[in-house]
Amino acid sequence: MRTSGFASAPIPDGEPYHRLARTPLFRWWVPPLLVLVFGVLLFFLWAGVMVVMTIVAIYGGGGLAPESVRVGEIAGLAFGLASMALLIPLVLFVVRVVQWRSVGSLISVAGYLRRRWLGVCLLVALALAMVCALLVPMLPGTASEAAAVEATPAGGGAQVLLAAMTVIILLVPLQSAAEELTMRGLVMQLVGSLGARDGRSAFSRVLRSPWPAILAGGTLFGALYAATHPGHVWTTASLVLFGLAMSWLTVRTGGLEAAIGLHVVNGLFQFTRCALEGRLSEVGTGVVIGAGLPMGADTPLTLAVTFAQVGLYSLLVLLCASRLGVRGRSAVRA
């Protein structure tokens, strides 16, 4: 029950994750208003980022650093990751102000980040990523795939590498969390809120089920990638597979922790590999899918490795969730 006019709407009782935006304050005009406000804020955010990048490039001599191309690449990496990380305050703003609910309901059915559960998911993801990083280079066809993505010798010395790793360690977790809050959080709950709680029509029943939300949250990023990278069939399929699996896990475990865990670990592995191999300039042309794969490669092996990693991760996470009693629905208040 709300205690004041400024209090957020309570988390609905006994609901799965994708239905948490269907609060007592929900109205039919909330979803279109949210899309409109988020779109406007996103436009101004990225316009501001482009202005800042242009100013820095001009004062830096066009390469962001006249004495070192590597430093310019690090600056570009930082701008790219930071611009994605800034989605976090945008998403939290529209959830709290437009939907008028607690930002914790975007994270889990418990209404907050379940830190212990996130730690378990990170450990599972880290173990699988290390196995993939060791085994993938031994698979047939990996050598030719790696050769298709030419690596240049690392340059700039230890200081440049240290700067790159600092940017990666600080910003990749934020960038990964921002993408999950947007795709698996905002999008899924937006779709899940459309079905009326007591609606008896087939349309309402379908929208109340998790599958429309899973399809929307799992395929949107892949569709955007396919539109901007035509011909990258295997990478697009891998992104869709990753997105659908993470969306399904989010509903089953009642929160974003599992999706954030795998996304963060894969991001750290792939960005670190690019930094060590002197391929920071390729970061903007690739996507984070699986540890052990060269960023930017687009072959059947990309889909195969993604399928193996995501499948094992989903199985292990569900086993851990069952053992630890991770709740998939919000609590029912007396």
Query: Mean of the per-residue pLDDT values for the chain?
Result: 85
Render pLDDT for 71-89 as a digit per residue (tens, 0 to 9): 667 878 888 899 899 999 9
Task: Output the pLDDT for position 295.
Answer: 64
CA dist 24 and 1 (Å) reads: 10
Would you state the torsion angle of the CA atoms of residues 163, 168, 171, 173, taken in this order, to the nearest 10 degrees? -150
**What residues contact 136, with CB distance under 8 A and at least 6 apart?**
142, 290, 291, 292, 293, 305
Task: Output the pLDDT for position 142.
Answer: 57
**Residue 202, pLDDT above cutoff 90:** no
Q: Which tokens sit at 126?
A: 């880290």
Q: Which range in 1-10, 92-101, 231-240, 264-273 is most confidently predicted, on average pLDDT?
A: 92-101
**Residue 69, pLDDT above cutoff 60:** no
Render pLDDT for 19-54 as a digit per residue (tens, 0 to 9): 999 999 999 999 999 999 999 999 999 898 888 877
Determine how many CB atoms are found less than 10 A away from the CB of residue 315.
11
Task: Output the pLDDT for position 65.
Answer: 43
**Which of these ranges, 15-29, 129-143, 232-246, has the smallest mean pLDDT?**
129-143
CA end-to-end distance (rounded Å), the chain? 12
Arithmetic mean of pLDDT, 100-123? 97
**Residue 311, pLDDT above cutoff 80:** yes
Arithmetic mean of pLDDT, 89-94? 97
Task: Output the pLDDT for position 149.
Answer: 46
Residue 300's alpha-carbon distances to 231, 234, 287, in angstroms, are: 13, 6, 16
**Residue 11, pLDDT above cutoff 90:** yes
**Residue 152, pLDDT above cutoff 50:** no
**Which of these ranges, 31-45, 98-112, 135-149, 166-180, has the smallest mean pLDDT?**
135-149
Task: Output the pLDDT for position 58.
Answer: 73
**Residue 256, pLDDT above cutoff 50:** yes
Render pLDDT for 167-189 as a digit per residue (tens, 0 to 9): 999 999 999 999 999 999 999 99
Q: Which tokens sit at 150?
A: 């030419």
Task: Output the pLDDT for position 189.
Answer: 98
Largest CA distance in the chain: 67
The model's pTM is 0.90
**Residue 63, pLDDT above cutoff 90:** no
Would you state the torsion angle of the CA atoms of residues 122, 127, 132, 134, taken in this order, to the nearest 10 degrees? 140
